[in-house]
Structure 1
Amino acid sequence: MSQKHDCQHLIGELSEYVDGELRGELCAELERHLSDCENCRIVVDTLRKTIYLVHASAESESVPDDVRERLYKCLDLKEFLNS
C-alpha cells in the first residue's frame, strides 16, 4: 500500500486515536504509519493542539449573566435561571 493510500485510509481514525479510543490492530497500524509519515504526525499534533485550545478557551470564558438569562428565557428553561 502506498503512503498516500495509507494516509487516506487512516485519516478518518485520527480523532479516535487522539482521544485514546482506537484499539487493537488499527491503533498499531496507525502508530506504525505515524512513525514514518511526517505529514500525518503534523496533522495529529495540530489536532491535539486544537483540542487543547478549545478546552482551555471554554474553561476561561463564561457566558455573561444577562446573556445566559435571555437564552434560558428563550428556551423556556426557567428552572435553570437561579443555578
Structure 2
Amino acid sequence: MNVHSDPQQCRKFISEISEYVDGSLDPQLCADLEKHLCECENCTIVVDTLRKTINLVQTCTDEDCLPGEVRTRLFHSLKLDDYLNKP
C-alpha cells in the first residue's frame, strides 16, 4: 500500500467516502474506491477514522461516554453544530 496516491484521485474519492461508509454509493464507484483504498494508505486512514467516529457517536448515549468539550469539538469539526443542542 502506498502512503501517497494521486491527489486528484484522492480528492475525487474523499467526496464519496460518506456514501461509501453508508453503503449508498453506486456499485461501480464503490468498486473504484475500494481499489483506490488498496493503493492509498491516507484514504484508508480517512475511511477508518470516519467509521470509528460514526461508531462512537452511535454507541455512546451516556453523557459521560463522550465529554462535553470533546463532543462539541467533534460536532464542530464534522459541521454538525445544529445537532449539539438536540436531546
Q: Which of the pair is proportionally richer in helix?
A: 1
Count of aligned positions: 59
User: 1:50 — aligned with what?
Assistant: 53
Q: Which runs of 5+ in 2 are unaligned?
A: 64-87
RMSD: 1.3
Distance 2:23 2:42 in 1: 20
Report the AA paired with residue 9 of structure 2.
Answer: D
The equivalent position to 1:9 in structure 2, one of 3, 9, 12, is: 12
The alignment's TM-score, normalised by the length of structure 2, stands at: 0.63
The alignment's TM-score, normalised by the length of structure 1, stands at: 0.65
Q: Which runs of 5+ in 1 are unaligned?
A: 62-83
Q: Deviations over 1:15-57 (max 9, x none)?
A: 0000111122111110110000000000000000000000011
The sequence identity of aligned pairs, in percent, is 59
